[in-house]
Structure 1
């Protein structure tokens, strides 16, 4: 039977920290935007308290989570843990997230990133690009009876090794291997065109780096439209509706009120 909590119970906190991987799900506000789910592996996460979860976000070809958390009035995120060994269990952390960006070689990131790393004595990996903080407002626990059982073998080291090689090449004088140039190319925008990493966006503009094309074909997004934004078409619609209402209802008003309206208009 599913259970809901306002905070993470102590027994679930212990279980969460024992897991080897989890998933994060986010979505843009627009109904035409793409929902994203990302798997995360490695021991790069933790709990600050019963309502705060964090994880070290590593560089990759996508940056949907960062873009969705940065979107004004958004920030929604769900973190899912799943038991593959031992008793079955699924845990979801519902909340709102914030981004602490790591700086590049030439571009400063968030001071909060450096402060968080220092305070919690964290290792910054060559592939590290941000720390995601999740303020949890609801916790769900369910059975997971239909989830298969798997035996954990090992963590993959390919990503960290790849960025370690890039870092080494940069230190040897190859400026094109800097991490901020990688972020400018692949992490500056989401698949829907939402701004991503601030360091990536800034570097891209300064160095003229065009972002990678992320979706192709006739159904690829042509431009992002926030469903909550108030644009020119909303103004036109208001003007048209106002004109229609005036034409329909003004004749029905008393003559004295009509005169007052005409006087105020003139």
Structure 2
């Protein structure tokens, strides 16, 4: 039932726009695979074979450390409403930081989010749909503002200190590029 596509089609873009969350998976050559749910208005499809997503401060920084060792990334959306479908985008990704020349142009595509720490650029080489027949129905109740509130109460110095303590390396000890 799975179907592969070389790029995003209009139907895929409609499905992405309807979803309130997405999932990101990365893995270094060794160690743990990371799979993270993402929300907020933090993802943009910028072309038929590219998407960007704004990553904000969190308790870990696995994606950053993994991509430094292996650029593979999968982004997945599940429809929790009437249409039973799962959509995956596979490709190679890289991190862009506030210190990078590209940051301002990429960040301008989002409403500012307190604690923004990276923008990931995923160059998509395969898009796949599969049935979502076993995915349950869920109703969207609203966004959580906890992370925005937490990060909004900290200045740049406090966020940097948090990143130093919690985001400098992955749980497997791989370095991230956040504070380089």
Superposed displacement of residue 123, structure 1: 2.2
Q: Which runs of 5+ in 1 are unaligned?
A: 103-108, 203-266
Could you report, residue by residue, the CA deviation over 1:25-54 in whole angstroms, capped at 9, with x for unpaired residues? 000112xx1111000011111111110011
Residue in 2 that maps onto 1:133: 121
Work out the number of aligned pairs and report it.
Answer: 180
Asked whether the equivalents of residues 93 and 140 of structure 1 are also in contact (C-alpha less than 8 Å), the reply is yes
SS at match of 1:129: strand
TM-score normalised by length of structure 1: 0.65
RMSD: 1.3
Give me the whole-angstrom Cα distance separating, in 1, the residues matched to 2:17 and 2:174: 32
Give me the whole-angstrom Cα distance separating, in 1, the residues matched to 2:61 and 2:178: 12
TM-score normalised by length of structure 2: 0.95
Asked whether the equivalents of residues 95 and 138 of structure 1 are also in contact (C-alpha less than 8 Å), the reply is yes
Give me the whole-angstrom Cα distance separating, in 2, the residues matched to 1:44 and 1:124: 10
Could you report, residue by residue, the CA deviation over 1:178-211 in whole angstroms, capped at 9, with x for unpaired residues? x111111111001111111331xx4xxxxxxxxx
Residue in 2 that maps onto 1:76: 72
Give me the whole-angstrom Cα distance separating, in 2, the residues matched to 1:5 and 1:110: 32
**Displaced runs of 4 or more, over 3 A:** none
Superposed displacement of residue 115, structure 1: 2.8
Of 172, 186, 198, which aligns to 2:166?
Answer: 186
Task: Report which structure shows greater RCO (CA 8 Å, sep ≥6).
Answer: 2
Work out which of the two has the higher radius of gyration on C-alpha atoms and give 1 or 2. 1
Superposed displacement of residue 111, structure 1: 2.2
1:17 equivalent to 2:5? Answer no
Residue in 2 that maps onto 1:222: none
1:6 equivalent to 2:6? Answer yes
Residue in 2 that maps onto 1:50: 48
Q: Which runs of 5+ in 2 are unaligned?
A: none
Give me the whole-angstrom Cα distance separating, in 2, the residues matched to 1:14 and 1:191: 36
Give me the whole-angstrom Cα distance separating, in 2, the residues matched to 1:82 and 1:115: 29
SS at match of 1:147: coil
Residue in 2 that maps onto 1:62: 60
Give me the whole-angstrom Cα distance separating, in 2, the residues matched to 1:77 and 1:113: 20
- Structure in which a larger fraction of residues adopt strand: 2
Give me the whole-angstrom Cα distance separating, in 1, the residues matched to 2:9 and 2:105: 28
- Structure in which a larger fraction of residues adopt helix: 1
